[in-house]
């Protein structure tokens, strides 16, 4: 469960970092499962596959009781989802690293809006250093999306990608006016970042020797259609915090 200071920081910054959230023993088990699935080890880069298919940790990240407890706390029991996306960014040492220039909001993969994301959680299977393929985000940018969708409530359906502003700025609509520059989630294995569904974010290039193995869990509101119908003045209207 989060304490009041953590809740305040999450609301203010649109994200919250929980160091050492996943127990070391769990991380070790997940590491074993992962490398067993790939039939090689982290010390055998020559054997690493290009793509990782069909891997799910057991238990899945989104099922960890401590994480479910937090999601229940912040969503008042009305958020549904969890699961575990597994996103691997293998080292690309020949690439030049630079900080990503723009990000995206989850929920808008193709045309239209898949669902309005409420909260996401990300952890790493191995430590990730700077320029190591970190999840990268614009701190406090969730306020920008809230302002934008208050002004343009229908664009919640994804039609912001049909506007002239989009032509000019793309996803910059949700990050250009961010109070701070983008930041990498540089973290130890098992550290967790909770992020508001409207936090602008993206992946980044990995030019370090270690693979970036990210686990992603996401929750939407059980009444997603209702959430889309009106953008409340209080950005926390659908939350329990």
Ligand X SMILES: O=C(O)CCC(=O)C(=O)O
138 binds, among ligand X, Fe ion, none (CB under 5 to 8 A by kind): none
Choosing from 57, 107, 214, 235, the residue that interacts with ligand X (CB under 6 A) is: 214
Q: Which is nearer to ligand X, 29 or 114 (CB)?
A: 114
Contact (Cβ atoms closer than 8 angstroms) between residue 43 and residue 210: no
Q: Is 83 in the site for ligand X (CB under 6 A)?
A: no
CA dist., res. 228 & res. 149, Å (int)? 10
Which one of the spans 8-16, 62-70, 174-182, 201-209 is the region binding ligand X (CB under 6 A)? Answer: 201-209
Q: Do the Cβ atoms of 14 and 141 come closer than 8 Å?
A: yes
For CA atoms 44, 46, 49, 50, the dihedral sign is positive
The site map against Fe ion for 99-118 (x = CB under 5 A) is: -------x------------
Q: Does 14 bind Fe ion (CB under 5 A)?
A: no
> Hey, what long-range contacts does 72-75 have (CB within 8 A, 24 or more apart)?
73/1, 73/2, 73/240, 73/241, 74/2, 74/7, 74/10, 74/119, 74/239, 74/240, 74/241, 75/118, 75/119, 75/219, 75/221, 75/238, 75/239, 75/240
User: How do 192-196 and 136-137 pair as beta strands?
Assistant: unpaired
Residues 103-162 binding ligand X (CB under 6 A) are 106, 135
Residue with smaller CB distance to ligand X, 61 or 135: 135
Q: How many residues bind ligand X (CB under 6 A)?
A: 8
Answer with the entry of ligand X, Fe ion, none that 78 interacts with (C-beta below 5 to 8 A by kind).
none
**Residue 214 contacts which entry, ligand X, Fe ion, none (Cβ below 5-8 A, type-dependent):** ligand X
Residue 7 or 204 with smaller CB distance to ligand X:
204
Residues that bind ligand X (CB under 6 A): 87, 106, 135, 201-203, 214, 216
């Amino acid at each position: 469960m989060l304490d009041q200071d953590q809740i305040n920081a999450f609301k203010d910054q649109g994200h919250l970092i929980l160091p050492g959230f996943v127990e070391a023993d769990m991380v070790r088990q997940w590491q074993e499962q992962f490398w067993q699935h790939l039939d090689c080890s982290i010390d055998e880069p020559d054997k690493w596959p290009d793509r990782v298919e069909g891997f799910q940790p057991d238990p899945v990240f989104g099922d960890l009781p401590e994480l479910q407890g937090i999601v229940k706390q912040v969503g008042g029991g009305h958020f549904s989802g969890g699961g575990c996306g597994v996103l691997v960014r293998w080292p690309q040492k020949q690439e030049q690293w630079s900080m990503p220039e723009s990000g995206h909001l989850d929920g808008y993969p193709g045309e239209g809006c898949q669902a309005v994301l409420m909260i996401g959680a990300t952890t790493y299977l191995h430590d990730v250093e700077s320029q190591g393929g970190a999840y990268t985000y614009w701190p406090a940018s969730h306020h920008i999306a809230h302002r934008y969708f208050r002004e343009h409530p229908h664009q919640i359906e994804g039609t912001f990608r049909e506007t002239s502003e989009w032509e000019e700025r793309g996803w910059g609509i949700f990050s250009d006016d961010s109070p701070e520059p983008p930041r990498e989630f540089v973290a130890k294995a098992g550290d967790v970042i909770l992020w508001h569904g409207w936090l602008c974010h993206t992946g980044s290039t990995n030019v370090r020797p270690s693979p970036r193995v990210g686990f992603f869990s996401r929750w939407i509101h059980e009444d997603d259609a209702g959430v889309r119908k009106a953008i409340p003045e209080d950005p926390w209207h659908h939350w329990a915090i």
